[in-house]
Amino acid sequence: MSEKLKHPAAEEFAKFCAQIAEDRKAEDVTIIKIGDLSLVSDYFVICTGTSHPHLKALAEWIRRKSREKYDVRPIAIDGGEGCDWIIIDFGTVMVHIFGVEARERYKLEELWGDAERIEKLIAEKFPNRKS
């Protein structure tokens, strides 16, 4: 078993959660830095799942991998069976997992339009991957 890292920096942890979501086939994964605009959290990771089981699986996988690598557990998880929006609150990082229609309806990125976006360049990580 790999050694657990302790207390990741918020940006590092947000990128980790985003990468887990991408690895599990989440769509349109975005990280926004809201810490300068709100006391709610430092970063939002926003992604879309393709079905209710996919949303649930994404949430479970992010929760599990965060515990395995960093020994970090969520403060709270809101949403569940049949929900179109699951929020995993890690304190400095909040992961928002939306269904397709809910993402379009709530437009979280527009709501926090003044927030800095952390672009994850998948093309750099996987140069031979086709979109």
- Please write the tens of the pLDDT for every residue from 22-67: 999 999 999 999 988 888 899 999 999 999 999 999 999 999 999 9
- Residue 72: name the closest of 46, 44, 95, 91 by CA: 91
Report pLDDT for 120.
57
Q: Is the pLDDT of residue 71 over 60?
A: yes
Where residue 117 falls among pLDDT bands split at 50, 70, 90? Answer: confident
H helices present in the chain, as ranges: 10-23, 52-70, 100-106, 108-111, 122-125
Domains in the chain, CATH or no CATH each: 10-119 (3.30.460.10)
Q: Is the pLDDT of residue 130 over 60?
A: no
Report pLDDT for 90.
96
